[in-house]
Amino acid sequence: MSNQNLNQDNHGHSDDHGHHKETFISKYVFSMDHKMIAKQFLITGIIMGTLGMAMSMIFRLQLAFPDMKFPFFEGIMGHWGKDGKLDPNFYLALITIHGTIMVFYVLTAGLSGTFSNLLIPLQVGARDMASPFLNMLSYWFFFLSSCVLVSSLFVDGGPASAGWTIYPPLSALPKAIPGSGTGMTLWLVAIILFIASALLGGVNYITTVLNMRTLGMKMTRLPLTIWAFLVTAVLGLLSFPVLLGAGLLLIFDRSFGTSFYLADIPADMAGGIERVGGSPILFQHLFWFLGHPEVYIILLPALGITSEVIATNSRKPIFGYRAMIGSILAIAVLSFIVWGHHMFITGMNPFLGSVFVLGTLIIAVPSAVKTFNYIATLWKGNLQLTPAMLFAIGLVSFFISGGLTGLFLGNAALDINLHDTYFVVAHFHIVMGSAAIFGMMSGIYHWFPKMFGRMMNKSLGYAHFWLTFISAYCVFFPMHFMGLAGVPRRYYANTAYDQFSTFVDMNVFITIAALIGGAAQLLFLFNFFYSIRKGKKATQNPWNSNTLEWTAPVKHLHGNWPGDIPHVYRWPYDYSKPGSEVDFIPQNIPEEGQTDPLQEMASQHNH
């Protein structure tokens, strides 16, 4: 490997001077530059996120005011909002597409796609990804997938409406729900394209981290962001193919008359062919075999970003660097043996349930270690409370709140009465939704200068943070109590059982908080797009950070560094090191008496 590094370094250098001429298309559209691809992922993700959020506003209005008519519903949704009343089928379609967009398109592709692409080559010291071409394909598969999903909003019968988990038989039988017609087919196509994108990206991330680190960048000198991205990519590579399999079998059931997931369905329900012998629960096992690691595919990059942002802005080394890596690895391994906790009440053998309880609750240990390490990093720090730092602190707060409610749901006995209630909605929107979005926001505010060479407006950033933070808690915290009262999720209205009428006020409150939170995102959108063109010019290292990306010039170069790739002499967290005048020492500064890794290696070769 050391030989490869040597070659790459020299090779990369000469490469830099012999560039092809860039046209508009090769620079902005079919770009193979990881920095441009990162921006493409980010902007696509932001557009999808805006769409997903707008959907949540519509169904929140419905939940708060089930008897009111909103004439603009008809304006934006046509016959699905006839006379200003949201159609119950379209309500289900909205929650389905909202979930799909947020989980896959924003928090997987938008988060991991953006920051893995931007940071992996820059932070490990590589000129680009291992395969820039596959990287480009990865984005365009994602783009195509987004287009297919969005187009499914307009087909006859509406988009997929069986919940983002698309459990068959509901998702397999168009007769059961209109969204399981063309809409569901398009959903499956979109997800298959998405999986292709995720796999192409993942292969690239892993290869780049393992093989293309610059000289001196040992695995134990990698920033925690890179560790998080690496482990995320491995998780994705191992679990997404299972979803692909699950999706293909569902396509067979839907279109070719098989019965993988269907049992005891009479012919007239299922396109004229009687379906016997399959198991609907099989799908759930396959789905959650991806679905649970997926939670960590979403969360780990956010936690990686937080580690970096908290250390930099605390002006302190991250506490327990090795323990942080250890807990990332532990979470990753455990995440593969806990999927059954989504299925405690499917009728699975109670003993099997017990095994999943054990695994699930053990995950809380490495998670707790991470939390305590974040808090210990803040202790006696000198905190630069930038918007990025506030979002990182917000993430830790959500990670605690949402993680602890996981201890209720992960315990099979307690899950009996909480499963599929609003308690679950509260839990995962806090720990996975809000926490990961906050990690993404933290990353955007922190690396915006690296991406666009300009700074985002600080005061708008603060307003954005506080409004989002407060409204997110106001939206999701009260939902725990609705769940404890037995209010099921995915209900179009809570009007059919009298006892739930006690929550009318709470639903109105939640909706108002959600609308404020939604409006706050407009501040962000304005700030983001305005700053791309008109923001203050960024300096090369605006946060006085140690990692390698800040040694690259502000203006983007194909190949990242104009001269040699910097060599690495130390770990990335030498902040406020005693004996140093400045409070940061970048990774490319040698320690006293340290020789250049290149010479070191050459001398080793001579021996």
Residues in region 339-398 near other proteins by CB under 8 A: 345-347, 350, 353-354, 357-358, 361-362, 364-365, 368-369, 371-376, 378-385, 390, 393, 396-397
User: Among residues 178 and 293, whose Cβ is nearest to other proteins?
Assistant: 178
Extract the tokens encoding 554.
Answer: 């502000």
Residues near 419 by Cβ (< 8 Å), separated by ≥ 6? 344, 345, 409
Indicate the residue type of 366: P
Q: Choose which of 26, 143, 163, 512 interacts with other proteins (CB under 8 A).
A: 163
User: How many Cβ atoms sit within 10 Å of the Cβ of residue 185?
Assistant: 18
Stretch that binds other proteins, among 100-108, 234-242, 278-286, 298-306 (CB under 8 A): 278-286
Phi first, then psi: what are they for 537, rounded to 5°? Answer: -65, 135
Q: How far apart, in whole angstroms, are the C-alpha atoms of residue 318 and residue 393?
A: 14
Site string for other proteins, 10-49 (x = CB under 8 A): ----------------------------------------
Torsion of CA 112, 430, 347, 493, to 10 degrees: -120
| Nearer Cβ to other proteins (134/485) | 485
Is residue 175 a contact residue for other proteins (CB under 8 A)?
Answer: yes
Site size toward other proteins (CB under 8 A) is 125
| 8, 114, 494, 546: which one binds other proteins (CB under 8 A) | 494
Shorter beta-carbon distance to other proteins: residue 170 or 456:
170
Name the DSSP letter for residue 109: I
Q: To the nearest whole angstrom, how small is the minimum distance from the Cβ of residue 379 to other proteins?
A: 6
Handedness of CA 195, 233, 115, 525 (dihedral sign): positive
In the range 178-217, which residues lie near other proteins by CB under 8 A? 178
CA dihedral 161→477→445→325, nearest 10 degrees, is -90
Least Å distance, CB 237 to other proteins, is 29
Near other proteins by CB under 8 A: residue from 120, 153, 177, 552:
177
DSSP state of 493: -
Choices 100-108, 138-146, 234-242, 459-467; region in contact with other proteins by CB under 8 A = 459-467
Binding to other proteins in span 113-152, by CB under 8 A: none
Residues 279-308 that bind other proteins (CB under 8 A): 279-281
Tokens of 456: 């985002």
Among 400, 504, 532, 601, binds other proteins (CB under 8 A): 400
Q: Which is nearer to other proteins, 181 or 566 (CB)?
A: 181
| CB neighbour list of residue 404: distance below 8 Å, 6 or more residues apart | none
Complete DSSP assignment for 61-92: HHHH-TT---HHHHHHHGGGGGGG---HHHHH
Alpha-carbon span 418 to 439, nearest angstrom: 28
Residue 331 — left, alpha, or beta (φ > 0 → left; ψ -120 to 50 → alpha)? alpha
Footprint (CB under 8 A) of other proteins, residues 462-491: 462, 466, 469-470, 473, 477-478, 481, 484-486, 488, 490-491
Q: Does the protein bind other proteins through residue 157 (CB under 8 A)?
A: yes
Using CB under 8 A as the criterion, what x/- string covers residues 508-527 for binding other proteins?
Answer: --------------------
The backbone torsions φ and ψ at residue 193, rounded to the nearest 5 degrees and listed phi first, read -60, -40
Q: To the nearest whole angstrom, how small is the minimum distance from the Cβ of residue 224 to other proteins?
A: 13
Angstrom distance (rounded) from CA 539 to CA 222: 24
Write out the two tokens for 91.
């309500």
The minimum distance between CB 283 and other proteins, in angstroms, equals 10
Q: Residue 63: what residue type?
A: L
